[in-house]
Chain A
Amino acid sequence: MTEYTLERRDVVHRILKERGDAAVVTGIGNASHDVASAGDDPLNMYLFGVMGGAVMTAFGIALAQPDRRVMVITGDGELLAGIGSLATVGVEKPKNLSIVVIDNQAYGATGGQLTHTAAGVDLVGIAAASGIPRTALIEDESVLESAIKDIYQGEGPYFAVVKVVAVAAPRVHVPNDGTLTARRFRQAVSGKVG
């Protein structure tokens, strides 16, 4: 197995540093902790269940908020659970949706069991074959730096896999009251209350 050097939390913090007013949806698992550890934000919608639902949740937001960049930050296991979403995104091509997969090739939240990406399943290839026009495989810092502009600018949908070391980062407090975070998020992106 290839040895990767990027660390997931550094990667997520680096990406979020440039977020501006982008809305962020996180998939269940470590991705939520990675995003929250960079600082809580009303424009973050943390998913703590619905495995496989992050991309389509962000897709619905992206259609509703066409002038705002909507970014998914999720793990390889979570994406694999909703892999058909990439086909739907590839067909619909929402211009403001970016998907960033933090790929540690393992189910980090359940003890590090290997995911299919460890056996060679190519998520970038699946995304490209699904019709997502811009994709990237990020394995080192220089590629990460050049990809950041693509995540936030240019016509979407955009899809990137960031290969990271399979080492768990410390857990942090993540707001996990869905009723609260959902309303906070909706108000932040749309101004609507209730």
Chain B
Amino acid sequence: MTVASICFGDRTERAGSSYGGATRKLGAGLRPAVSVTSYSIMKWRPCSLRKPLCRGSRRQGWKTGRLPMNDQDWHWAPDVHRHFQEIGISQAAYVPDGGLARLIELCNADETIRSVVLTTEEEGVAQIAGAWLGGERGVFLTQSGGVGNCINMFSMIAECRIPFFAMVSMRGQWGETIPWQVPMGQATVAALEAAGVIVQTAWDPREVPEMVQAATRLAFDAGRAVAVVISQRITGTGERG
């Protein structure tokens, strides 16, 4: 029996294929960067080796985005925020979002990052383009539904080849209960890719810090538009409407 079948019941097939894919990718060469992230490489284990959980902690983990095993206090956001500091992120543009709430709070509390609340997500694409034009680095934080609002604005990123880094928290993807969230959620990755944005999806919270490090290098060093998609499997935000 796989862990997926224990944790997610009737989602066995999907969990096994998606999660297994992510695990294989990591096992193929990438390792968590111990110097930056707070967890030890020794704690990393492929999904298939994880211990089953008791029902209570499993459900809590699934809802809060925390690790569904040990280290119940660990969350990916502080590591990502620390990385933002290390690479000199000075602007963060966002529309408030539950899945990214903890990262947003950390950015808001950080005096070295100017956090800007937007009326609609495409404002953020233009602002972050402006940040680079002005010689700084920014990040764009959005829920998947907001990606649809950004499509035309992405043409500036593509035409001007502006280094662009986004984090997208998913709705309508994994365990969603609100039907209206599903159409845009299912179109999010396709829309990003159609607009020329490279998409890297995290299915496990442990993947997130390393994935953000790699994606920001791709964005700011290789000069590309990159989005790290935080799966709804991680955020678990499917019940609040």
Contact = CB atoms under 8 A, between A and B. Distances in A.
A185 interface: yes
Nearest to B163: A194
Interface residues of A, number: 39
Interface of B: 90-91, 93, 114, 116-120, 122-136, 138, 152-153, 155-156, 159-162, 223
A63 B131 contact: yes
Nearest to B155: A49
Given A182-B162, A185-B133, A186-B132, A50 B123 contact: no
A183 to B, nearest CB: 8
Given A56-B126, A57-B156, A62-B134, 15 more contacts: A49-B155, A57-B129, A59-B130, A60-B93, A62-B130, A63-B136, A65-B134, A84-B118, A84-B123, A88-B119, A178-B156, A179-B160, A179-B161, A182-B161, A194-B223
Contacts of B132: 60, 186
Nearest to B131: A60
Contacts of B90: 63-64
A50 B152 contact: yes
Given A47-B156, A178-B156, A179-B160, A192 B119 contact: no
B119 A84 contact: yes
A52 B133 contact: no
Contact of B119 (A25, A48, A85, A179): A85
A82 B120 CA distance: 9
Interface in A30-52: 45, 47-52
Interface in A72-109: 82, 84-85, 87-88, 91-92
15 contacts: A50-B126, A52-B153, A53-B153, A54-B126, A56-B124, A56-B127, A57-B130, A58-B130, A62-B134, A63-B136, A64-B135, A178-B161, A189-B135, A190-B134, A194-B223
B156 A179 contact: no
A194 to B, nearest CB: 8
A20 interface: no
